[in-house]
Structure 1
């Protein structure tokens, strides 16, 4: 053993295990509110247990998993010291990636990497994760809080999430169900959601003080840029799972995230069909684009094609169904509190997204 006259504890090295324990205590109540009957035990074990007994009633249960983060939206959260809703963003980015297969999200785990652990700070973040899990109907069964002194600045943190869902194979939906003439419906987004924030920061945040960011803007209907860009991502999974359970005849879905409509809606199309989107040219689309998306797009000087490849343009989730089933699908979605609108239709093609103003 090397000679060392000085005593250096783990806390001296920058890791406070006592604060970590306090953080766990601070989040236990929030985590408990997400429990489902399948959850076995609680926080504190080396692994998280979830009963698979309900899967026995399925003909051919298929597990569907997803993982994601919040990205550089966290940098704005840190600048504004707003941490209550980024957890919802994390859950949304994961659960809404598994529901397009028709899967019900079952359980969720999170990973929080932080420069300096503060129990109250982490409680706000995990409280948002718990809220997202409640909205989507999945259980928050565990996670990890890792303190990274010397690697991350004290106030820096990053988030990652992981979700597991299940669907009975005969009830899976996707591109193989889509047919020529199908209708494409959109579900409204709450704003920018959690994609495109490197551009948002570059053109709208850098060089501005917190006071400027919190000042009401007429271009945003009197809302501040801070409020507009930090609005949490809409979580669609809970309502969509309920609609599917009620028998809504949906063929496919597309979660509109990074890459916008152009690079996500095509993932719901088979190789021989295109998604024809009615964005309307100079008149704009037949749905409402959130003002903050227009504001950022204009500030960045984006062309229309660039905007549709960067932001969701007001379409957080696309739903594809047969024309004969449109009324029933709309009714099922409205029953879950959604306000669906027409985005376009499915036409012969090669598995791409095309726009009516380009034809």
Structure 2
């Protein structure tokens, strides 16, 4: 009997329901935008970060966590990299609106007090902050035995970043137009999204110490690879004043989120990487359809830059100087939505 295809939805995460819930929350909290004293909300829910005008400063705020990747850390009993993930999930979003990360707060919830675990988490957070050139200025640690389920090393980790838009002109994607080029920057693996599906596909068959056909490291090591941080090359692009029309962090929902930058154009992706490494392993072991893979995972592209053609060489060169591969993966066309060419077929994502 043919194995049933695994999807993110039947693994337990329904992206459609989440987006509907998020929209409802966005509608509710938008009322608070009129409550600010001495400032103005420029952009609220719906983009990669919220933006506030405060005097002459334009500030950006974003909050995110590590998700079920923490469960892999618990299985591995290794906690010195998920702090990098927590920082990355925040700063990679905030740079998408043209903001420079300035300060970070963390929130750690524990099943029980665990000094060693906290120390390892802190080392990862500091490494993420170092890569992002920002300060960690505080946070909160809570022991919640009735909330955090699992073994004695069970925990959850989230954070919040504050950024500053130098020059006060945020990058919101409104300049994106047909003829622009979509560049993809390589990821370091799964980053911190799609782990409910990834764990179901792999950990139902392998232990974290096992090897697998398409993996270089053990299953656990591949799953725990820290999220790449794109702050330095992007800040370098801003510093050089290279023309950029939009930036996208490829996270939950993968390439389907590109229209959040600009809904009035079509994102045509005709040179995405073929499934390799951990992505291929998930596809094979989970019997995951190709379209579902590209709707769920970054597939080797962790960040996108949308820019006019004259900027392409300079952008590729800048990422190369930071030891990050970057190449053209598509273009902007007239129309709407996201179209991807997968295995020589055009499919709407």
Question: TM-score when scaled to structure 1?
Answer: 0.76
**Residue 330 of structure 1 pairs with residue 307 of structure 2:** no
Name the counterpart of 1:254.
Answer: 248
Which entry has the higher C-alpha Rg, 1 or 2?
A: 1
Q: 1:207 offset after TM fit, Å?
A: 6.0
Q: Are 2:345 and 1:354 aligned? A: no
Give 1:355 shift: 1.6
Per-residue deviation, residues 57-112 of structure 1 (Å, max 9, x unmatched)? x9943111100111111111111111110111111111111101110010000000
Query: Is 1:318 the counterpart of 2:311 in the alignment?
Result: no
- Contact kept? 1:217, 1:225, Cα under 8 Å: yes
Quickly say closer, same or farther: Cα 1:332–1:317, change in 2 above 3 A: same
1:226 aligns with 2:242: no
Q: 1:275 aligns with which of 267, 277, 296?
A: 267
Cα distance in 1 for residues equivalent to 2:339 and 2:311: 23
| Greater Cα shift, 340-349 or 162-171 | 162-171
TM-superposed deviation, 1:354: 0.8
Alpha-carbon RMSD across the aligned residues, in angstroms, is 1.9
* Counterpart residue number, 1:240: 234
In structure 2, the partner of 1:135 is 131
Deviations 1:159-190 (A, max 9, x none): 11000101146542232111210010010001
Displacement of 1:265: 2.0
Could you say what secondary structure the match of 2:139 adopts?
A: strand
Residues 1:90 and 2:91 aligned together? no
Q: Matched residues in 1 for 2:240 and 2:56: separation?
A: 20
Q: How many residues are treated as equivalent by the alignment?
A: 289
Q: Deviations over 1:92-145 (max 9, x none)?
A: 111111101110010000000001112121000111011101101111111111
Residue equivalent to 1:309 = 295
CA distance in 1, matches of 2:327, 2:222: 22
Say yes or no: does 1:174 pair with 2:172: yes
CA contact (8 A) 1:73 1:194 kept: yes
Question: Tell me, which stretches of 5 or more residues in structure 1 are unaligned?
Answer: 1-57, 280-284
CA shift digits 1:295-325 (9 cap, x unpaired): 1122222222111111001110000110122
Is 1:81 the counterpart of 2:77? The answer is: yes
Contact 1:60 1:168 in 2 (8 A): no
Flag the 1:335–1:248 CA change in 2: closer, same or farther, 3 A: farther
Deviation at 1:290, TM superposition (A): 4.3
Matched, 1:164 2:162: yes
Partner of 1:35: none
* Distance in structure 2 (CA, Å) of the matches to 1:170 and 1:117: 43
Q: Tell me the CA shift for residue 214 of structure 1.
A: 1.4
Pair 1:300-2:292 in alignment: no
Match of 2:204 in 1: 206
Contact 1:254 1:267 in 2 (8 A): no
1:212-242 per-residue CA deviation (whole Å, 9 max, x = no partner) reads: 421333321x421111111001011222112
SS in 2 for 1:64: strand
Partner of 1:113 in structure 2? 109
Structure 1 residue matching 2:165: 3-state secondary structure: strand
| Number of the residue aligned with 1:33 | none
User: Equivalents in 1 of 2:80, 2:295: separation in Å?
Assistant: 29
Query: For residues 164 and 263 of structure 2, what CA distance do their matches in structure 1 show?
Result: 26
- Cα offset, 1:335, TM superposition: 2.7
Shift of 1:332: 2.5
- Distance in 2 between residues matched to 1:207 and 1:304, nearest whole Å: 20
1:253-292 per-residue CA deviation (whole Å, 9 max, x = no partner) reads: 110000011x222223x2321110014xxxxx3x464410
Counterparts of residues 32-51 of structure 1 (less than 5 Å): none
